[in-house]
Chains A and B, each alone.
Chain A
Amino acid sequence: MKTAVIVFPGSNCDRDMAVALEQVTGRAPSMVWHRDTDLPDGVDFIALPGGFSYGDYLRSGAMAARSPILQAVTAAAARGVPVLGVCNGFQVLTEAQLLPGALMRNAGLNFICRTVGLTVENDRSLFTSAYQAGETLNIPVAHHDGNFFADSDTLDRIEGEGRVAFRYAETVNGSARNIAGVLNEAGNVLGMMPHPERAIDVAHGGTDGLRLFEAALRVLA
């Protein structure tokens, strides 16, 4: 099981993500720098961590989505390698057009940093198969730009295709239809604003995020 965490200048959840991946796989992930052009051979799972890549210049995730390593990530995603983008990683995946929609400034304009209720919508994806549809998880969010937007045709389409993985169980940031996590068409790319890697140990205050990694990485094992 080879995992990789992409590190951009300004990433700040890359170590948390590495801890989560090592805890579940027993093997430390490769930390891949944004200027690199290649991923480790035979990589099985790629994570784009949270943070403020490139200082959120231009738009959150915009510069990271055009960095050299993203070409390799896009190619790997096209081959079916699972890609998880959390928070800024989700923003990068939408900017790279690996996921639909965009993440705009929170409706209330405030940075939101708290644990929120999250409803599992799709329990059949490789990331969510250890959850039950309708189950409510408690996972922390920490973002300023988490307000998911897509036009209504796109929203209807992704809902119809079961690509909404998670929805907020409460009002959080103004996201269209309370969408908190979205899958790509093939189901191997997941972007989500909440941080599952911050809910994997009782010392974190909850372990609801652990099953996401266990599901994804066990499926791959």
Chain B
Amino acid sequence: MKVNVYVTLKPGVLDPQGKAIHHALEGLGFEGVSDVRAGRFIELDVADTISDADLDAMCAKLLANTVIENYRIERP
């Protein structure tokens, strides 16, 4: 089973990379982009029987740094 994990910066945490991407989009002539935030997408291939608690622990212990990041788990 494929499980998708989305790791994103918490609101209020400055994102220099997102800002650079934003500037680059403007430089390419794209208008109307008011903000860009960059995050990380992680695809896990796991046993169908895995518990939500285990997935949550993987995110909290390693995949995200909860000082600066939120995470969202998407299982099929």
Contacts and interface: CB of A to CB of B under 8 A. Distances in A.
Interface string A132-158: 000000000000000101110000000
Contacts of A101: 67
Interface residues of B, number: 12
Contacts of B12: 151
A94 B14 contact: no
A152 to B, nearest CB: 9
Contacts of A104: 13-14, 16, 68
Contact of A102 (B62, B63, B65): B65
Interface string B40-58: 0000000000000000000
Interface string B1-39: 000000000001110110010000000000000000000
A102 B15 CA distance: 13
A62 B68 CA distance: 13
B65 A59 contact: yes
A109 B67 contact: no
Contact of A149 (B13, B20, B61, B63): B13
Contacts of B62: 58, 62, 66
Contact of A105 (B17, B65, B67): B17
Contact of A109 (B17, B61, B65, B68): B17
A101 B65 CA distance: 10
A28 B67 CA distance: 36
B65 A149 contact: no
Contacts of B13: 104, 149
A26 to B, nearest CB: 39
A92 B23 CA distance: 31
Contacts of A25: none
A109 B20 contact: yes
A101 B20 CA distance: 23
A108 to B, nearest CB: 7
A109 B14 CA distance: 12
A133 B20 CA distance: 37
A55 B24 CA distance: 26
Nearest to B9: A104
Nearest to B20: A109
Interface in A120-174: 147, 149-151, 174
A102 B16 contact: no
A62 B14 contact: no
The 5 closest A-B pairs by CB, nearest first: A102-B67, A102-B68, A105-B16, A107-B16, A109-B16
Interface of A: 58-59, 62, 66, 94-95, 100-102, 104-109, 147, 149-151, 174
